[in-house]
Amino acid sequence: MSTTRSHQTIEMDIDNFGRYRAMNGSNASYAPRDVTREFGEDYGSRIFAGNVIQRRLAPNVLDKLERTIHFGTKLDPEIADEVAAAMKDWAIENGCTHYCHWFQPLTGATAEKHDSFLSFDGRGGVIAEFTGESLVRGEPDASSFPTGNIRDTFEARGYTAWDPTSPAFITINGGEATLCIPTVFVSWTGESLDQKTPLLRSIEALNTHAMRILKSFGSADGIHRVTSTLGCEQEYFLVDEDAWSERPDLMLCGRTLLGADSPKGHQLDDHYFGSIPHRVLSFMGDVEERLYLLGIPAKTRHNEVAPAQFELAPLFESTNLACDHQMLTMSVLKNVAREHGMVCLIHEKPFAGVNGSGKHNNWSLSTDSGKNLLSPKSNLQFLSFVTAVVRAIDLHADMLRATVANAANDLRLGANEAPPAIISIFAGHLLQFMIDELIAGKTIQKAEGSFMELGSESLPKVERHAGDRNRTSPFAFTGNKFEFRAVGSQASVAWPNTVLNTIIAESLDHIATRIEEAVEDGMDDAARNAAIMTILQDVMKTHSRVVFNGDNYSDEWKQEAERRGLPNLRSTPDALPAMETDKAKALFDAYNVLSDSELEARVEVLYESYVTVCEIEARTQMMMLNTMVLPAVARYQSEVGESVAASNAAGVESAAMKSRLEELVGLTASLYGSIQELDAFLSAEFDCVKQRAVDIRDTLLPAMERARTSCDALEGLVPADLWPLPSYTELLFGGLA
Q: How far is CA 729 from CA 241, 261, 262, 328, 338, in A?
A: 15, 8, 5, 31, 21
- The one-letter code for the residue type at 356 is G
Q: Does 462 bind ligand ADP (CB under 6 A)?
A: no
| Nearest-approach distance from CB 375 to ligand ADP, in angstroms | 8
What letters, b where the CB count within 10 A reaches 16 and e where it falls short, cover 35-71? eeeeeeeebbebbbbeebbeebbeeebbebbbebbee
What letters, b where the CB count within 10 A reaches 16 and e where it falls short, cover 428-463? bebbbbbbebbeeeeebeebeeeeeeeeeeeeeeee
DSSP letter (8 states) at residue 361: E
Q: Which of 544, 30, 582, 481 is nearest to 277 (CA)?
A: 30
Residues 6+ apart with CB under 8 A from 155: 143, 187, 188
| Nearest-approach distance from CB 568 to Mg ion, in angstroms | 24
Q: Which is nearer to ligand ADP, 213 or 250 (CB)?
A: 213
Report residue 138: phi and psi, to 5°. Answer: -125, 170
Q: How far is CA 454 from CA 338, 451, 458, 643, in A?
A: 45, 9, 9, 66
Q: 313 is in the binding site of which of Mg ion, ligand ADP, none (Cβ under 5 to 8 A by kind)? A: ligand ADP
| Nearest-approach distance from CB 394 to ligand ADP, in angstroms | 22
| Nearest-approach distance from CB 141 to Mg ion, in angstroms | 41
| Nearest-approach distance from CB 313 to ligand ADP, in angstroms | 4
Residues 6+ apart with CB under 8 A from 703: 674, 677, 678, 681
| Nearest-approach distance from CB 420 to ligand ADP, in angstroms | 19
Given a contact cutoff of 8 angstroms between Cβ atoms, the answer to whether 307 and 266 are in contact is yes
Distance CA(43)–CA(685), nearest Å, equals 54
Do you know the residue count of the chain? 737
Q: How far is CA 283 from CA 161, 279, 536, in A?
A: 35, 6, 50
Q: 314 is in the binding site of which of Mg ion, ligand ADP, none (Cβ under 5 to 8 A by kind)? A: ligand ADP
Q: 621 is in the binding site of which of ligand ADP, Mg ion, none (Cβ under 5 to 8 A by kind)? A: none
Q: Which of 313, 336, 618, 731 binds ligand ADP (CB under 6 A)?
A: 313
Q: Does 387 bind ligand ADP (CB under 6 A)?
A: no
Question: Which residue lies nearest ligand ADP, judged by its C-beta?
Answer: 231
Q: Does 233 bind ligand ADP (CB under 6 A)?
A: yes
Q: Does 256 bind ligand ADP (CB under 6 A)?
A: no
Q: Does 372 bind ligand ADP (CB under 6 A)?
A: yes
Q: Does 230 bind ligand ADP (CB under 6 A)?
A: yes
| Nearest-approach distance from CB 385 to ligand ADP, in angstroms | 12
Q: Which is nearer to ligand ADP, 68 or 480 (CB)?
A: 480
Q: Which of 134, 178, 216, 229 binds ligand ADP (CB under 6 A)?
A: 229
What letters, b where the CB count within 10 A reaches 16 and e where it falls short, cover 500-528? bbbbbbbbbbbbbebbeebbeeeeeeeeb
Q: Which is nearer to ligand ADP, 151 or 325 (CB)?
A: 325
Distance CA(591)–CA(570), nearest Å, equals 28
Q: Which is nearer to Mg ion, 360 or 602 (CB)?
A: 360
| Nearest-approach distance from CB 300 to ligand ADP, in angstroms | 6
| Nearest-approach distance from CB 359 to ligand ADP, in angstroms | 10
Q: Which is nearer to Mg ion, 209 or 359 (CB)?
A: 359
Question: What does the per-residue mask of binding to ligand ADP show for 287-306, with x meaning CB under 6 A?
Answer: -------------x------
Rounded-to-10 torsion of CA 306, 310, 316, 321: -110
Segment interacting with ligand ADP (CB under 6 A) among 313-321, 402-410, 412-420, 423-431: 313-321
| Nearest-approach distance from CB 297 to ligand ADP, in angstroms | 8
Q: Which of 48, 130, 310, 316 binds ligand ADP (CB under 6 A)?
A: 316
Exposed / middle / buried, residue 86 (Cβ in 10 Å: 0-12, 13-18, 19+): buried
Q: Which is nearer to ligand ADP, 256 or 329 (CB)?
A: 329
Q: Which of 28, 58, 127, 315 binds ligand ADP (CB under 6 A)?
A: 315
> Beta-carbon neighbour count of residue 533 at 10 Å?
17
> Beta-carbon neighbour count of residue 269 at 10 Å?
9
End-to-end CA gap in the chain: 26
74 sits in the region (left: phi over 0; alpha: psi -120 to 50; else beta) called beta
Q: Which is nearer to Mg ion, 360 or 510 (CB)?
A: 360
Q: 230 is in the binding site of which of Mg ion, ligand ADP, none (Cβ under 5 to 8 A by kind)? A: ligand ADP
Q: Which is nearer to ligand ADP, 223 or 689 (CB)?
A: 223
Residues 6+ apart with CB under 8 A from 592: 201, 204, 205
Q: Which of 266, 571, 166 is nearest to 404 (CA)?
A: 571
Distance CA(497)–CA(360), nearest Å, equals 12
Q: Does 361 bind ligand ADP (CB under 6 A)?
A: no
Q: Which of 586, 737, 614 is nearest to 686 (CA)?
A: 614
Q: Which is nearer to Mg ion, 225 or 360 (CB)?
A: 360
Rounded-to-10 torsion of CA 127, 131, 137, 140: -10
Q: Which of 110, 187, 282, 362 binds ligand ADP (CB under 6 A)?
A: 362
Q: Which of 364, 472, 544, 621 binds ligand ADP (CB under 6 A)?
A: 364
| Nearest-approach distance from CB 348 to Mg ion, in angstroms | 17
Residues that bind Mg ion (CB under 5 A): 360
Q: Does 231 bind ligand ADP (CB under 6 A)?
A: yes
Q: Does 506 bind ligand ADP (CB under 6 A)?
A: no
| Nearest-approach distance from CB 433 to ligand ADP, in angstroms | 20
Q: How far is CA 107 from CA 104, 402, 415, 613, in A?
A: 8, 17, 26, 12
Q: 391 is in the binding site of which of Mg ion, ligand ADP, none (Cβ under 5 to 8 A by kind)? A: none
Q: Which is nearer to Mg ion, 322 or 671 (CB)?
A: 322
| Nearest-approach distance from CB 722 to ligand ADP, in angstroms | 46
| Nearest-approach distance from CB 600 to ligand ADP, in angstroms | 31
> Beta-carbon neighbour count of residue 191 at 10 Å?
18
Distance CA(367)–CA(374), nearest Å, equals 11
Number of shown-chain residues binding ligand ADP (CB under 6 A):
17
Question: Which residue lies nearest Mg ion, judged by its C-beta?
Answer: 360
Q: Which is nearer to ligand ADP, 472 or 478 (CB)?
A: 478
Given a contact cutoff of 8 angstroms between Cβ atoms, the answer to whether 351 and 330 are in contact is no
DSSP letter (8 states) at residue 309: E
| Nearest-approach distance from CB 374 to ligand ADP, in angstroms | 7
Q: 315 is in the binding site of which of Mg ion, ligand ADP, none (Cβ under 5 to 8 A by kind)? A: ligand ADP
| Nearest-approach distance from CB 98 to ligand ADP, in angstroms | 32
Binders in 318-357 for ligand ADP, by CB under 6 A: none
Q: 480 is in the binding site of which of Mg ion, ligand ADP, none (Cβ under 5 to 8 A by kind)? A: ligand ADP
Binders in 465-484 for ligand ADP, by CB under 6 A: 478, 480-481, 483
Q: Which residues bind ligand ADP (CB under 6 A)?
A: 229-231, 233, 300, 313-316, 362-364, 372, 478, 480-481, 483
